[in-house]
Amino acid sequence: MQDISIGGWHAVSDRSVVTECSTITALDAAGKHMDEDGEFLIATLYPSLCSIILDCCTDVGAEAIATQCSLLTSVNINSITGGGAAAIAANCTSLRSLSIGSDKKVAEAVARVSVRSLSVTSDKKIAE
C-alpha cells in the first residue's frame, strides 16, 4: 500500500505530486484545511484510495469521494454531517470502518443506509 500525507489540498494540485502519486491507496490529510475543491480533487485524482483521513468534509465533497473512490475500506473524518457520512456508507460497498467525530444524528444517518457489517465510531455516545 502506498501512503501519502498531504500538507493541504494545494499540494495535491502540484502536477509533479500527482504524477508521482497517482496510484496512492491511503491519504492522511489530518490537521490540514480541506475545502470542497480539495475534496473533489482527491476524488478525481485518487480513485484507488482504500483509506482516507480528513479533519472535515462537506456533503458535496463526501458524495464525490464516495462515488469516485469506491474501493474505500476505512474512512476517518473528524467533522462531517449526516448527509455526507450517509453518502459514504451507502456508496462505498467495501467500507468496513467509518470513524466520525460527530454527533449522534450523523451516526443514525449512517445506520439507516448501512445494511452490512460496518464499524462506526464517534466521539459522542451512540445508541445501540
User: Does this model's pTM top 0.85?
Assistant: no
> Taking each helix axis from N to C terminus, what angle separates 104-113 and 82-91, rounded to the nearest 10 degrees?
30
Q: Residue ranges of the domains in the chain?
A: 3-122
CATH code of the region 3-122 = 3.80.10.10
Residue 124 has pLDDT above 80, yes or no: no
Q: Which residue has the higher pLDDT, 115 or 42?
A: 42
Report yes or no: 90 and 115 within 8 Å, Cβ to Cβ.
Answer: no
pLDDT digits (tens, 9 = 90+) for 35-63: 788 888 888 888 888 999 888 888 899 99
Q: Average of pLDDT values for 108-128?
A: 64
Separation CA 102–CA 79 (nearest Å): 6
SS (H, E, C) 35-69: CHHHHHHHHHHCCCCCEEEEEECCHHHHHHHHHHC
